[in-house]
Amino acid sequence: MPYSDIYLYSPLTIKTIKEGKNRALLLQFILSEIFHAMDAGKNEDPLEFVFSSPACFFPYDWSYEVGSLNKISEHAQLLEAAFPKLETSTQAFNKHLEELLSKVISRKKMKDEIPHEELNRDLNELYQLLQPFFIACKENESLLLFLIKHPEEISSLSHPENLSSLLAKMFPEGLEKIAPHLRREYENRGFHNILPEIDRMISHYEN
């Protein structure tokens, strides 16, 4: 039977998520949108930038601004297919996401803003619930590079934890394993020009 799944915001589908390294890419999409939602709340942007009302004129509303939680919700539909062995973690993530969506929709109806601290706590919980998926993909060099390129965002999101806390969970055998792994994978892919940058970024987490 051919795949018929259609996604408005995600470039991935159930079919493509099972191919290659797309499941690690899925996690990067989700975390990136969590960062965007955090920034929207921090800058006191309207809730529309966190969660937007459904577009009504598809496909003619292609320029419609879509909220970060809309995108996270769609990406999250693919977690089950991407991580079939993490069913409990997928259910926990989706449960908290549904609760957050319900809260945001309710506040929008009442035209009531969510305080930045409250929104950040909810986004922190989403981040914490993603950690089992990060651990499952810890060998993926693109995910590791994405994480070490965003230490400030992760620290702001996960306070009082930080990126070192996450990496320690992903590599309990020692963070000194990360740099050789990243170097080897990117050398194999021919990206020799970024090796010095990798060494510089990862050196902060090996001491």
Whole-angstrom Cα distance, residue 127 to residue 30?
Answer: 9
Question: Does residue 168 sit within a domain?
Answer: no
Residue 157 lies in a domain: no
The domain boundary residue, chosen from 109, 137, 165: 137
**Are 49 and 117 part of one and the same domain?**
yes
Same domain, 131 and 143: no
At 176 the pLDDT is 86
Same-domain pairing of 128 and 193: no
**Whole-angstrom Cα distance, residue 40 to residue 204?**
29
For residues 126 and 181, state if they share a domain. no
Same domain, 127 and 145: no
| Same-domain status, 100 and 183 | no
Is 198 in the same domain as 108? no
Q: Could you write out the DSSP letters of every residue in 10-69? A: -S--HHHHTSTTHHHHHHHHHHHHHHHHHHHHHTT--GGGTSPPPPSSTTTTTT----HH
Q: Choose one of 93, 111, 137: the last residue of a domain.
A: 137
Q: What is the pLDDT of residues 138-168, one digit of tens each?
A: 999 999 999 999 999 999 888 888 899 999 9
Domain-located, residue 165? no
Q: Is 171 exposed, middle or buried (0-12, 13-18, 19+ CB in 10 A)?
A: middle
Read off the pLDDT of residues 58-106 as tens digits, 9 standing for 90 and up: 554 444 456 888 889 999 999 999 999 999 999 999 999 999 989 888 8
pLDDT value of position 130: 97
pLDDT at 133: 97
The vertex-118 CA angle with 117 and 119, nearest 5°, equals: 95
Q: How many domains does the chain have?
A: 2
Q: Which domain holds residue 18?
A: 14-137
Is 158 within a domain? no
The answer to whether residue 56 sits within a structural domain is yes
Shared-domain flag, residues 133 and 143: no
* One domain, residues 192 and 118: no
Residues 12-40 have a mean pLDDT of 85
pLDDT of residue 203: 80
Domain-embedded: residue 85: yes
Same domain for 39 and 124, yes or no, is yes
How buried is residue 106: exposed, middle or buried, by Cβ count under 10 Å (0-12/13-18/19+)?
exposed
Residue 52 has pLDDT above 60, yes or no: yes
**What's the confidence (pLDDT) of residue 110?**
83
Q: Do 118 and 195 have their domain in common?
A: no
